[in-house]
Structure 1
Amino acid sequence: MEALVLFALLIGLLLVGVPVAIALLLSGAVSLLASGIPVNILAERMLGGINSYTLMAVPFFIAAAVIMNRSGVTRHILDFAYCLIGHRRGGTGHVNVLGSLFFSGMSGSATADVASQGRMLIPRMMKEGYDAPFSAGITAAASIITSIIPPSIVMIIYGAITNTSIGGLFFAGIVPGFMLFTALIGLVFVQAKRRDYPHGERLNWSQTWPVFLKALPALLAPILILGGIRFGITTPTEAGVVAAVYAIALGILVYREFSIWNLGEILQEAAVATAVPMFIIASSAIFGFALSISGFGFVVGDFMKDVTTNPIVFMLIALAFITVVGLFLESTSALLIFIPLFAPLATAYGVPDIQFGILMIIALMMGTLTPPVGLQSFIASDIAGISILRIDIWGAILCILLISLLVIFVPWITMYLPSTFI
């Protein structure tokens, strides 16, 4: 009963327009104070929720994403992607997807990807004759590759709250990420044929080579980050520091898009961007504590045991549940509230923690696409100047669901690389 009141209070606050972090904090605090929990415990829980060495990676990767956007990295990557694939029918749509694949190895943030690439590519696509819903939809869908292929901020948060190996999650996301890339390239190909979208100019090697050299320093970032983790040179947190320092070096020494005197302004932007997810994490610690006090976890566990003893069925139910939650709740909040309930159950069912982690991350990121509250779709549709309800996203959603089912039924997809390299 307490859990129902807690969720009702949260939903009521969200419906009247209270920001997610504030709604989580208020609903959790009211429930705990009504249960007689001392108010100082609330402050301790909020501080404890963000007092993590692992979570220190989050501000560094966000800083790296902000710096790379300001240093011209996105532009050079998209130019190189155009040289490789822009000549095909629907070329700019293909460039959109390939650019996200390249960008994924550097920023770890789907929001940074859709904001930076969207401002460059959505107006360009619409000018070339692509319809606005498709331009926004493929940009939003491609952006979540950034959260599945490492380094990924959502993987860092997932690993921090479930004690799952972040290095293992990083390597486990590579194959599903490339599968999503392939599926979206196929989707663009089919839609371009059906709708007769334009193709770009084919460039020869002499034209491509200088563009490649310009983009090469940025393309080396994933090797630097994953190589450091693979060979034990850096932890994932230290890799975030390496990514931020490397981004500064690119901006100042290689591309010369800003000077050291601009760093204060850029780091201030990164601090503001970091404050939002960290506040959500702190607020979710209060809500999650209230949920645990209510006994909701035991209810979920007993329900699952009554429904099935099959780990495949359990993963299918978890996928369906998180997919539905993603329709109404922001992904970070959903991760922090519900994953601590499902992760121990996955272990009890014998599901490898890395396989389950990648499945849940894919499901959570799918929630950032689905209207009415999908963040990536909202940003892309806003750039395109259309309602989020008009965005052409459902073909991509089908692709993501199929990949999720493959992750469930073919464990090799997520387990081969971690078992080989970690």
Structure 2
Amino acid sequence: MDFIILVSAFIALLMLGTSVASAMILSATLSLLLADMPLRVVADRLLAGLNSYTLLAVPFFIFAAVAMNRGGLTRRLLDVARVFVGRFPGGTAQVNILASIFFAGMSGSATADAASQGRILIPHMKKEGYDPGFAAGITAAASTIGAIIPPSITMIIYGSITNISIGKLFLAGIGPGLLIGIALMAMTWRLSVRRGYPVSAPVPWRDRLRPVVVALPALLAPALILGSIFTGVTTPTEAGVVACIYALLLGFFVYRDLGIRDVVPLLEEAVVATAVPLYIIAAGAVFGFALTVTGFGFQVRDALGALTDSAHLFLLIAIASFLVIGFFIEGTAALLIFVPVFTPIAQSYGIEPLLFAVVTCIVVLIGTITPPVGLQLFITADIAKVSVFQVEVLPSVGIILAVVAAIIAFPSIVTFLPSLL
């Protein structure tokens, strides 16, 4: 009965237009009060949800992403990508994907990737004759790579929930992230040939060196950030500070796109961008506690135990569940609510924790590019001036799910690099 009240109140609040985070807090508060829990528990869980050293990395990496965008790093990475893949079929779309791979190694934010590259590339793609829906769709899909290849804010949040090593999660995301990028480029090649999308003029080899040299400090950022983590010099949180300092140094002294007057706007943008995920994280802690009180996790475990004893069938059920959840609930909230429920069950089936973690993060990210609540979808659709239902994301979703299937079939894609630690 408590579970029905909790879920009914949550759905009703969403239908009334309440934000996901506020709906989680209000429905959880109602459920806990009806269960005779003191109201103080809500405040305690809100604070406990944020009282994590690991989560300190989130605002640092968000600030680093903002500083990189404003400091000119994104533009120079695009120049390098254009030199090497611009001549392929669908050249600018290929640049979009490759630049997302570059940017992923610095920011860890799919949202920052979609917003920064979308503002530059989507208008350019439209002028070149790309369908606006395709331009928005490939930008949104490519942005998910930013939350898979390390550093990854999504994986930091997952690690804070499950206490899995953030360093191992980061290493586990490299193979799948690169595989998604390659698969999206192959899909783009095929669609571009079929639709006659333009090809950029080849850049002579003698002219390729200059963009690479100019962008070299930016290209070194992933090596600096990830190297400091994997060598044990810094924790992931401290690496976030390193990323901030490095982005500012490049913006102020190397590329000189930043000045003293940019400091306050940088801080303002970073604070606003940080407030949303942290609010959702705090709200998710309250809602997750309310779910625990209702016994929802035990009910799901018992139901799945009665349904199947196959680990692969459980994985299919979990993937399908997270896909459906992603249609209605923002990605961070979905992780906070359902990962504590599904992770112990996955362990009981003997599923490798890193494999389940990466599969879950990827499937949850699919929800960020699908209607009706996908954040990256809304960002790119707004830039392309099209409805979210006109954005062409289904081919990319199919490609990403194919990569998920490959990961399940060949777990070493995920586990090989972490096994080296």
TM-score > 0.5, shorter chain as reference = yes
SS in 2 for 1:219: helix
Q: Distance in 2 between matches of 1:227 and 1:350?
A: 31
TM-score between both structures, scaled by the size of structure 2: 0.98
Map 1:112-191; keep pairs closer than 5 Å: 112-191=112-191
Is 2:384 the partner of 1:391?
no
Q: Report if aligned partners of 2:25, 2:286 keep a CA contact under 8 Å in 1.
A: yes
Is 2:200 the partner of 1:200?
yes
Q: Report if aligned partners of 1:312, 1:409 keep a CA contact under 8 Å in 2.
A: no
Q: Distance in 1 between matches of 2:129 and 2:259?
A: 38
SS in 2 for 1:67: helix
Is 2:4 the partner of 1:43?
no
SS in 1 for 2:408: helix
Map 1:302-321; keep pairs closer than 5 Å: 302-321=302-321
Q: Quote the offset at 1:209 in angstroms.
A: 1.2
What whole-Å deviation, never above 9, does each CA across 1:343-376 have from its counterpart, x for those lacking one? 1111111111111100000000011111111111
What whole-Å deviation, never above 9, does each CA across 1:173-195 have from its counterpart, x for those lacking one? 11111110011001110111010
Structure 2 counterpart of 1:275, which letter?
A
Is 2:235 the partner of 1:238?
no
Q: Distance in 1 between matches of 2:264 and 2:214?
A: 26
What whole-Å deviation, never above 9, does each CA across 1:31-64 have from its counterpart, x for those lacking one? 1112111111111110000000000000000000
Paired residue for 1:16?
A: 16
Structure 2 counterpart of 1:244, which letter?
C
TM-score between both structures, scaled by the size of structure 1: 0.98
Q: Distance in 1 between matches of 2:355 and 2:155?
A: 12
Map 1:351-390; keep pairs closer than 5 Å: 351-390=351-390
Paired residue for 1:412?
A: 412
> Post-superposition, which runs of at least 4 consecutive aligned residues in structure 1 deviate over 6 A?
none
Q: Report if aligned partners of 2:2, 2:35 keep a CA contact under 8 Å in 1.
A: no
Structure 2 counterpart of 1:217, which letter?
P
Q: Report if aligned partners of 1:280, 1:333 keep a CA contact under 8 Å in 2.
A: yes
Q: CA RMSD in A?
A: 0.9
Q: Distance in 2 between matches of 1:345 and 1:238?
A: 32
Paired residue for 2:285?
A: 285
Paired residue for 2:73?
A: 73
Structure 2 counterpart of 1:9, which letter?
A
Percent of aligned positions that are identical: 52
Q: Distance in 1 between matches of 2:140 and 2:261?
A: 33
SS in 1 for 2:17: coil
Structure 1 gaps of 5+ residues are none
Q: Report if aligned partners of 2:133, 2:392 keep a CA contact under 8 Å in 1.
A: yes
Q: Distance in 2 between matches of 1:268 and 1:368?
A: 24
Structure 2 gaps of 5+ residues are none
SS in 2 for 1:327: helix
Q: Distance in 1 between matches of 2:39 and 2:16?
A: 26
Q: Distance in 1 between matches of 2:331 and 2:8?
A: 19
Paired residue for 1:54?
A: 54
Q: Report if aligned partners of 1:165, 1:354 keep a CA contact under 8 Å in 2.
A: no
Q: Report if aligned partners of 1:74, 1:117 keep a CA contact under 8 Å in 2.
A: yes
SS in 1 for 2:203: coil
Q: Distance in 1 between matches of 2:50 and 2:169?
A: 20
Structure 1 counterpart of 2:55, which letter?
L
Q: Quote the offset at 1:264 in angstroms.
A: 2.7
What whole-Å deviation, never above 9, does each CA across 1:76-125 have from its counterpart, x for those lacking one? 01011101111122100100111101100011000000000001000000
Paired residue for 2:276?
A: 276
Size of the aligned set, in residue pairs, is: 421
Q: Quote the offset at 1:207 in angstroms.
A: 1.8
Q: Quote the offset at 1:205 in angstroms.
A: 2.5
Structure 2 counterpart of 1:363, which letter?
V
